[in-house]
Chain A
Amino acid sequence: MVTPAIRTEGLGKRYGKVDALADLSLQIAPGEVVGYLGPNGAGKTTTIRLLLGLARPTAGRAEIFGSDCQRQTVEAHRRLAYVPGEASLWPSLTGAETLHLLGRVQGRVDTAYRDELIGRFDLDPSKKVRAYSKGNKQKILLIAALMARPDLLVLDEPTSGLDPLMEQAFRHCVHEAREAGQTVFLSSHILSEVEALCDRVGILREGRLVEMGTLAEMRYLSTLTVEATFGGVPPDLAGVAGVKRAVVDGHRVHLEVQGPIEPVVDALAGTGVRELLSREPSLEELFLAHYGPGGAAPVLAASPAGAAGRP
């Protein structure tokens, strides 16, 4: 059996009376690229700090490639590289000196790849860190992590401060890492980035993992969006089997359908429908669906016509 890149069992962290993270059990296989989503304060950074051994869990345990994150921290760290969201580097060192230092502490560096990354990210390594912009400091940390070609990349908001061109360069590097068999654990707010890069996605809500799966699985379990435009007044579709929500906007109806779509298609037959669009939910919609009241989709407002259906 292959040792998981990341494995947690009932992992939890409590600050006073607040559960920053509760009962997190997940397993990430080597070579997977996993996105980790959640709003501010959901527990993403807490999870990463626990995986890195920077914080002590109040419950459960975590392993990196079979090494306990608390007891075998250094062994675990030999297999991973981490990029924090906020770059805090030694201001008196130059970029080149910082990369040299971080490489030495990491224990391994692909120097040819490092030089290639410096070119790709368009970094001037002769400048002192205090003279770098926020984005350039972030590039240093990205290069420092990637140049070690670690088995696991733990990335916490890695592209904050990067311009769109550099963000593309970052995505290219993650694709390369995946092709090289490296595992990537990516915490991000940029949903398009996660959607483009990740095989699986985990969603955190108030310190608990509420969803974990591939995008296809999540879409299958989620609702399908259907928009229908009618020639006249739309029919009442709120009672049709599978319709979880219906919002009327003039001659248009916006439906969220769960399960088979046939009952909706049957109900639309002979109603003068002129245009029919259906699409799977985007990651953004899946994400937002978890952050309405009680974890339900957000309540949509009724149109001024007042003909809104209710689930």
Chain B
Amino acid sequence: MTDLLIKTPPRDLSLAGRNPGLVVAGQVSRRAARSGTLWGLVFGLFVVVQTLGYVSDYKTQAARDQLARAFGTNVGLNALLGQAHDINTIAGWASWRFVGILTILGSIWGLLTSTRLIRGDEEAGYYELLLAGQTTRGRAGVQAVAGLGAGLLAMFVVTALGTIITGRSASVGFSLGQCLYFSVTLVAGAAMFLAIGALTSQLASTRRGAAAMAGIVFGIAYALRMAADSAPGLHWLVWLSPLGWIEESRPLTDPRPLALLPVLVLLVASTAVTLHLAARRDLGAAAWPGGNSSRPHLALLGGPTGLAVRLMRPAALGWLLAVAGFSVLLGTVAESSTKDITGSKGVAQAIGRLGGQGSSIAAYLGLTFLVLALLIALVSAGQITAMRTEEADGHLQNLLVRAASRTSWFAGRLGLSCLLLVAAGLLAGTGAWAGAASQHSGVRFWSLVTAGLNVVPPGLFLLGLGALALGAWPRRTSAVVYGYLAWSFIVEFAGGVVHTSHWLLDTSVFFHMVPAPATAPDWSSAAVITGLGVLGAVLGGLLLHHRDLQNA
């Protein structure tokens, strides 16, 4: 019955788009630009609000001088945010404050964005489809890098708008050139870590691995920069750190564009290596050598919790090593960082403002432990994101269709995460003590161990918040935990100087953490934060129990 066939006359095919060979660039640039615009908006608003806040809070030169005396000589803050120059001027204050904070946020955004859009998409199989179109691996690599560039450009444009609006106001008075150069330095961290993330996406076979590699680079860069700003004798270390190069560019006070030359070299070199590897490696494979077969190692494969230990082991060990190394470094430089300022009224004022008392070493460690709190909170966010990824990738389903319950999986994973956070806190305290003891600083072991435990509750709170998000809005889990972490970080580090309303400060989990060992840990406040985290986890568990399992 050939007449059943529908005979259709041949038609001309219409073009689906003008440049079918540029689909990868379009895909990556659209998503990178969306995210870059959003974060550029955060950066721009931060600059506008904080600068105008400074101008209105410190109206007279005398008030600004007093601020400079309190914060400019504070070694702890200098170690955290970079060395302060002329912070009794708007230019000096803005340069120190914004470059210090936004470089960290931009760097983390950069490495997460590029590993998600390159290795994450490859892992999900999207590139297999795209590369079946009118392109090649090499061209797709170029397009992906160009797409990330579009995201960076979007971030720069929106950030620059914020700095221009602020800078051109009568009370501030920056030139257009200054505003643009300042904006370049604000997004330079994002640029470098977009490039580093793109490179590690070629080296690792999973997104998590690529992000961990880039995270290690960031950790080392930050530790070096911090050590460099902790003691005058160590300042040469600043040139070994990509974050140090940005600090040395001093955008508004003493512009040194040449300091950005290594940033440019790093961008060009890592992009070139990325494109070289992208064109030569197999799709889905890592350039970093790794075997595809091995003898079975059955330890820990007895159930969901053991499996979780096995899967999180490399990343957890990496984080613990980072925390330990960082805290040893903090302890080691504490003595030399504070010997010139012991008895300084400025330091005492700064610590007093944060509610603390004590020796200058304790004061220094009290402030720098904030960074350890941030690191531990990042561990927490990573754990929750990993739980969501297990569900989204369909791996969790393999367990739940067998004799494993949602509750036992959820409780097991959260329990392990809590153990990891406590271990990180203990390591932080012990490491800082070991470092301080090596310099005969005289800081007591127990005070640093409790200081280490003091930075754990914010991580536990974030874990609970993430668990709640996982139960209620599973597809928004990552956005909730990282968004809240960024918010808390901004509020804590910016709100302390500009007189922000108390309710706003209360929204930052770090604000509820006292700067131990500068002051004794406030265990009742820690218990409240931890209790809220537990409440979030219980609610999250209940919601998870009653909802559908949701893939990506």
| Stretch of A195-203, A288-296, A300-308 on the interface side | A300-308
A97 to B394, CA, bound (A): 18
Give A80's nearest chain B residue, CB to CB.
Answer: B401
The answer, yes or no, to whether B294 is at the interface (CB within 8 Å) is yes
> Interface readout for A229-264 with B: 1 if CB under 8 Å, 0 if not?
000000000000000000101000010000000000
What residues on A are CB-neighbors of B291 within 8 Å?
A: 128
Q: Does A302 lie within 8 Å of B3, measured CB to CB?
A: yes
What residues on A are CB-neighbors of B6 within 8 Å?
A: 301
| Stretch of A100-108, A212-220, A270-278 on the interface side | A100-108
Q: Does B4 lie within 8 Å of A89, measured CB to CB?
A: no
> Interface readout for B354-365 with A: 1 if CB under 8 Å, 0 if not?
000000000000
Q: Does B296 lie within 8 Å of A94, measured CB to CB?
A: yes
The answer, yes or no, to whether A52 is at the interface (CB within 8 Å) is yes
What residues on B are CB-neighbors of A74 within 8 Å?
A: 403-405
A126 to B295, CA, bound (A): 6
Contact pick for A105, options B293, B311, B403, B546, CB 8 Å: B403
| Stretch of B300-308, B476-484, B519-527 on the interface side | B300-308
What residues on B are CB-neighbors of A52 within 8 Å?
A: 400-401
The answer, yes or no, to whether A86 is at the interface (CB within 8 Å) is yes
Contact pick for B399, options A96, A105, A131, A247, CB 8 Å: A105
Given A105-B303, A249-B1, A249-B3, verify A96-B402 contact (CB < 8 Å): no
Q: Does B395 lie within 8 Å of A100, measured CB to CB?
A: no
Q: Does B548 lie within 8 Å of A55, measured CB to CB?
A: yes
Q: In the assembled complex, how far is the CB of residue B148 from the closest CB belonging to chain A, in whole angstroms?
A: 25
A77 to B405, CA, bound (A): 10
Q: Does B403 lie within 8 Å of A100, measured CB to CB?
A: no
The answer, yes or no, to whether B60 is at the interface (CB within 8 Å) is no
What residues on B are CB-neighbors of A128 within 8 Å?
A: 291-294
Q: Does A105 lie within 8 Å of B304, measured CB to CB?
A: yes
The answer, yes or no, to whether A88 is at the interface (CB within 8 Å) is yes
Given A104-B302, A254-B1, A301-B3, verify A56-B402 contact (CB < 8 Å): no
The answer, yes or no, to whether A54 is at the interface (CB within 8 Å) is yes
> Interface readout for A116-135 with B: 1 if CB under 8 Å, 0 if not?
00000000111110110000
Give A300's nearest chain B residue, CB to CB.
Answer: B4
Chain B stretch 498-552: residues in CB contact (< 8 A) with chain A = 546-549
Q: In the assembled complex, how far is the CB of residue A131 from the closest CB belonging to chain B, in whole angstroms?
A: 4
Interface centre among B293, B298, B302, by most A CB within 10 Å? B293
The answer, yes or no, to whether B398 is at the interface (CB within 8 Å) is yes
Contact pick for B401, options A54, A86, A92, CB 8 Å: A54
Q: Does A88 lie within 8 Å of B395, measured CB to CB?
A: yes
What residues on B are CB-neighbors of A104 within 8 Å?
A: 301-303
Give B298's nearest chain A residue, CB to CB.
Answer: A100
The answer, yes or no, to whether B206 is at the interface (CB within 8 Å) is yes
A92 to B301, CA, bound (A): 13
What residues on B are CB-neighbors of A102 within 8 Å?
A: 398, 402
Given A54-B548, A56-B548, A88-B393, verify A107-B294 contact (CB < 8 Å): no
Q: Does B1 lie within 8 Å of A131, measured CB to CB?
A: no
What residues on B are CB-neighbors of A100 within 8 Å?
A: 296, 298, 301
Chain B stretch 278-316: residues in CB contact (< 8 A) with chain A = 284, 291-298, 301-304, 307, 311
A78 to B394, CA, bound (A): 20
A49 to B548, CA, bound (A): 9
Give A130's nearest chain B residue, CB to CB.
Answer: B205
Q: In the assembled complex, how far is the CB of residue B198 from the closest CB belonging to chain A, in whole angstroms?
A: 21
Q: Does A92 lie within 8 Å of B311, measured CB to CB?
A: yes
Q: In the assembled complex, how far is the CB of residue B7 from the closest CB belonging to chain A, in whole angstroms?
A: 11
The answer, yes or no, to whether A113 is at the interface (CB within 8 Å) is no
The answer, yes or no, to whether B397 is at the interface (CB within 8 Å) is yes
What residues on A are CB-neighbors of B294 within 8 Å?
A: 94, 126, 128
Q: Does A56 lie within 8 Å of B403, measured CB to CB?
A: no
A183 to B398, CA, bound (A): 20
Give B404's nearest chain A residue, CB to CB.
Answer: A105
Contact pick for A90, options B284, B395, B404, B546, CB 8 Å: B395
Give A125's nearest chain B residue, CB to CB.
Answer: B296
The answer, yes or no, to whether A160 is at the interface (CB within 8 Å) is no
A107 to B284, CA, bound (A): 34
The answer, yes or no, to whether A73 is at the interface (CB within 8 Å) is yes
The answer, yes or no, to whether A91 is at the interface (CB within 8 Å) is yes
Interface centre among A78, A106, A125, A254, by most B CB within 10 Å? A106
A101 to B310, CA, bound (A): 12
Interface centre among B4, B302, B398, by most A CB within 10 Å? B398
The answer, yes or no, to whether A82 is at the interface (CB within 8 Å) is yes
Contact pick for B403, options A77, A88, A301, CB 8 Å: A77
Q: Does B397 lie within 8 Å of A88, measured CB to CB?
A: yes
The answer, yes or no, to whether A309 is at the interface (CB within 8 Å) is no
The answer, yes or no, to whether A39 is at the interface (CB within 8 Å) is no
Q: Does A106 lie within 8 Å of B403, measured CB to CB?
A: yes
Given A94-B293, A107-B402, A128-B292, verify A301-B301 contact (CB < 8 Å): no
Given A301-B4, A302-B3, verify A73-B405 contact (CB < 8 Å): yes
Q: Does A77 lie within 8 Å of B401, measured CB to CB?
A: yes
Q: In the assembled complex, how far is the CB of residue B527 from the closest CB belonging to chain A, in whole angstroms?
A: 34
Q: In the assembled complex, how far is the CB of residue B4 from the closest CB belonging to chain A, in whole angstroms?
A: 5
Q: In the assembled complex, how far is the CB of residue A224 from the closest CB belonging to chain B, in whole angstroms?
A: 18
Q: In the assembled complex, how far is the CB of residue A119 from the closest CB belonging to chain B, in whole angstroms?
A: 17
What residues on A are CB-neighbors of B303 within 8 Å?
A: 104-105
Given A54-B401, A54-B549, A78-B403, verify A88-B394 contact (CB < 8 Å): yes
What residues on A are CB-neighbors of B394 within 8 Å?
A: 84, 86, 88
Q: Does A107 lie within 8 Å of B395, measured CB to CB?
A: no
Q: Does A84 lie within 8 Å of B293, measured CB to CB?
A: no
A244 to B291, CA, bound (A): 64
What residues on B are CB-neighbors of A96 within 8 Å?
A: 296
Q: In the assembled complex, how far is the CB of residue A187 from the closest CB belonging to chain B, in whole angstroms?
A: 14
Q: In the assembled complex, how far is the CB of residue A86 from the closest CB belonging to chain B, in whole angstroms?
A: 7
A55 to B401, CA, bound (A): 11
Q: Does A77 lie within 8 Å of B298, measured CB to CB?
A: no
What residues on B are CB-neighbors of A304 within 8 Å?
A: 3
Q: In the assembled complex, how far is the CB of residue B403 from the closest CB belonging to chain A, in whole angstroms?
A: 5
What residues on B are CB-neighbors of A88 within 8 Å?
A: 393-395, 397-398
What residues on A are CB-neighbors of B292 within 8 Å?
A: 127-128, 130-131
Q: In the assembled complex, how far is the CB of residue A15 from the closest CB belonging to chain B, in whole angstroms?
A: 9
What residues on A are CB-neighbors of B404 within 8 Å?
A: 74, 105
Q: In the assembled complex, how far is the CB of residue A204 from the closest CB belonging to chain B, in whole angstroms?
A: 19
Q: In the assembled complex, how far is the CB of residue A76 from the closest CB belonging to chain B, in whole angstroms?
A: 10
Chain A stretch 119-154: residues in CB contact (< 8 A) with chain B = 124-128, 130-131
B contacts, CB < 8 Å to A: 1, 3-4, 6, 205-206, 284, 291-298, 301-304, 307, 311, 393-395, 397-405, 546-549
Known: A90-B395, A105-B404, A106-B402. 12 other contacts (CB 8 A): A88-B393, A92-B311, A94-B294, A101-B301, A102-B398, A124-B293, A127-B292, A128-B291, A131-B293, A254-B1, A300-B4, A301-B3
* 16 CB-based A-B contacts, threshold 8 Å: A52-B400, A52-B401, A54-B400, A74-B404, A77-B401, A77-B403, A88-B394, A92-B311, A97-B297, A101-B302, A102-B402, A105-B303, A128-B294, A130-B284, A301-B3, A302-B3
Task: Give the 4 A-B CB pairs with smallest separation, nearest first.
Answer: A88-B394, A131-B292, A96-B296, A55-B548
A contacts, CB < 8 Å to B: 49, 52-56, 73-74, 77-78, 80-82, 84, 86, 88-94, 96-97, 100-102, 104-107, 124-128, 130-131, 247, 249, 254, 300-304
